Amino acid sequence: NAGVTQTPKFQVLKTGQSMTLQCAQDMNHEYMSWYRQDPGMGLRLIHYSVGAGITDQGEVPNGYNVSRSTTEDFPLRLLSAAPSQTSVYFCASRSLKSSGNTIYFGEGSWLTVV
């Protein structure tokens, strides 16, 4: 019953450092996405993918890169971390086999950039 697995759960970065948030799902979902959660702003979409080799930008993509080499994995890369990227990050996935399928979230990754 792994579902959507995110690592690491907590991370502190210095400004300018790079890192990758890992996300894996074992439900064979075509659609995967990354959101960030900031106080008073709900969750905002960063990037998403509808299948291996296909990615697209969401609402707040600047400063982040993604790739989708396999169905299972969808890593999020911060190339040069900035304090504005301090946030909680959620990976999510869903099946595209029918419309409106429920989106399932990972447990979140708390990132602090100092």
Partner 1 sequence: AQKVTQAQTEISVVEKEDVTLDCVYETRDTTYYLFWYKQPPSGELVFLIRRNSFDEQNEISGRYSWNFQKSTSSFNFTITASQVVDSAVYFCALSWEGGGNKLTFGTGTQLKVEL
Is the Cβ of residue 18 or residue 26 nearer to partner 1 in the bound state?
A: 26
Backbone angles phi, psi at 85, to 5 degrees: -95, 5
Is the Cβ of residue 35 or residue 64 nearer to partner 1 in the bound state?
A: 35
Of 113, 108, 114, 112, residue with least CA distance to 37: 108
Q: Rounded to the nearest whole angstrom, what is the least distance from the CB of residue 7 to partner 1 in the complex?
A: 14
Q: Rounded to the nearest whole angstrom, what is the least distance from the CB of residue 94 to partner 1 in the complex?
A: 7
Q: Which residues bind partner 1 (CB under 8 A)?
A: 31, 33, 35, 40-45, 48, 50, 56, 58, 88, 90, 92, 94, 96, 99-100, 102-105, 107-108, 110
Q: Rounded to the nearest whole angstrom, what is the least distance from the CB of residue 11 to partner 1 in the complex?
A: 14
Q: From CA 44, how far away is CA 108, in angstroms rounded?
A: 14
Residue 113 corresponds to which tokens in the numbers above?
A: 């950039």
Backbone angles phi, psi at 51, to 5 degrees: 165, 170
Is the Cβ of residue 67 or residue 95 nearer to partner 1 in the bound state?
A: 95
Angstrom CA distances, 11 to 28, 54, 80, 110, 112, stand at 28, 28, 15, 6, 6
Q: Rounded to the nearest whole angstrom, what is the least distance from the CB of residue 26 to partner 1 in the complex?
A: 17
